[in-house]
Amino acid sequence: MRDSARRYRGWQSFVDAGRGFVTVFRTEWNFRIHLGIFALVTLSGFVFRIGAGEWIALLLSTGLVLVSEIFNTVIEYLSDTLHPEMDRGIGMAKDAAAGAVLVAAVTSALIGGVIFLPKLWNWLMTIIQ
């Protein structure tokens, strides 16, 4: 049996994580864009009735984009807090973090294309005929 203090810490960690998610959502425009795309991809998955393997690929790739964006935000917040003045090294670190988000987003878009373009093409061909 767990004591109430231990249960509180466990619950509090979810509260803290939720607050972090909301902070990133409120302050980062790109994160909101990525969430919107995630919603469209999820809806498209249901519309096109994709298979289990396709769902796994989409969820992993879109999750990676969201996580990358959150870590990019973490690096920006920490850098700005610890070293508010301009610094070449911190600028390079921020650029590298943004580059990681770009790689994740492009990879995710390619995975989405591999999954959805054939399905979209087939759907268009049935409408034309």
Q: What is the pLDDT of residues 80-128, one digit of tens each?
A: 999 989 899 999 999 999 999 999 999 999 999 999 999 999 999 888 8
Report d(CA 61, CA 14) in Å as an integer.
23
Q: Rounded distance, CA 91 to CA 43, Å?
A: 37
Q: Which two tokens stand for residue 17?
A: 């994580």
Backbone angles phi, psi at 87, to 5 degrees: -150, 130
Where do the domains of the chain lie, and which CATH numbers do they carry?
29-128 (1.10.287.3610)
Can you give the pTM of this predicted structure? 0.86
- Residue 25 near residue 31 (C-beta atoms within 8 A): yes
What's the CA gap between 76 and 70, in Å, rounded?
Answer: 10
pLDDT digits (tens, 9 = 90+) for 35-66: 999 999 999 999 999 999 999 999 999 999 99
